[in-house]
Amino acid sequence: MEKSLEVLNKIERVTPSDGLYNKIMESVNNRANVKLIYATVACIALLITINIFSSQRYNDNEVLSANTDYLNISINYLAYE
């Protein structure tokens, strides 16, 4: 165990190049495309809106079908199991 830890004594401090921080920041900034972010948010909002309206319409259709008077339906529309 001591032999493997002796390797740590050979570690030396390294000085980075002057422009390294700027290069890193440029690569990070280039990855975030603002137009793509706005388009994604708009698509998600549109999907949520469509989902809300379609669920309301589905609920309205269920209410209408629940009000159907099955006793007065013609015999042709009845299904037997």
Q: What is the rounded average pLDDT of the residues 9-32?
A: 83
Q: Which two tokens stand for residue 70?
A: 């099955």
Q: State the pLDDT confidence band at 28, using cuts at 50, 70 and 90.
A: confident
HSE at residue 43, side-chain half, CA atoms within 13 A, is 6
Give the pTM: 0.40
| Alpha-helix runs per DSSP H in 1-81 | 2-6, 20-31, 34-66
Q: Evaluate if residue 19 carries a pLDDT over 70.
A: yes
